[in-house]
Amino acid sequence: MPQIAQISEIFASQLFWLALTFGLIYLVIGRGMLPKIEATVEQRDRRIAEDLAAAECARAEADAREEAYRVQLEANRAEALKVTQAAKEAAARATEQRVKAADAETARKVETAEAEIRSATQRALGDIETVAAEAAQDMVAKLAGATVPRERAAEAVRAALANG
């Protein structure tokens, strides 16, 4: 084979071109492209780290705001509870005063009504005594034929009602 016989003649030139090609590839990739790729990777890592730090800061701020919101919410609840309790107490006092006023008015009306009933009862008893005395006079006059004075008939009726 003639190619094997020529190896010693072309070996040096092939090694030269091989070294030159690899050197050129090393210079283009290693010195030209690789620093740009490394810079892009470093920039991306730095941006990711900054974004993570910003996200952590935003999360901490959100946590602080949430805690402040919760504290404010609890304060508002406590204030609402105080206002509600005060309103309940005021309503209870107002209701109690109205009930007392209504009780006093009712007691006054009952007392007035009782006085009127007592007065009406006294008038009725007086009318009953008068009617009974007149009836007694009429009965004595019809049964015994005697006339009884009005005062005496009234005394007899009072005595009969008192024994009664």
How far is 93 from 89, CA to CA, in rounded Å?
A: 6
Q: Which residue would you say has higher pLDDT here, 158 or 164?
A: 158
Identify which of 150, 146, 102, 144 has the alpha carbon closest to the alpha carbon of residue 129: 150
pLDDT tens track for 122-154:
888 778 888 888 888 888 888 888 888 888 888
Q: Given a cut of 90, is residue 77 above it in pLDDT? A: yes
How far is 38 from 124, CA to CA, in rounded Å?
A: 124
The model carries a pTM of 0.43
Q: Given a cut of 70, is residue 1 above it in pLDDT? A: no
Q: Which residue would you say has higher pLDDT here, 126 or 88?
A: 88
Block residue for tokens 């209870």: 92
CB atoms within 10 A of CB 148: 17
CB of 149 within 8 A of CB of 128?
no
pLDDT classification of 60: cutoffs 50, 70, 90: very high
How far is 77 from 65, CA to CA, in rounded Å?
A: 18
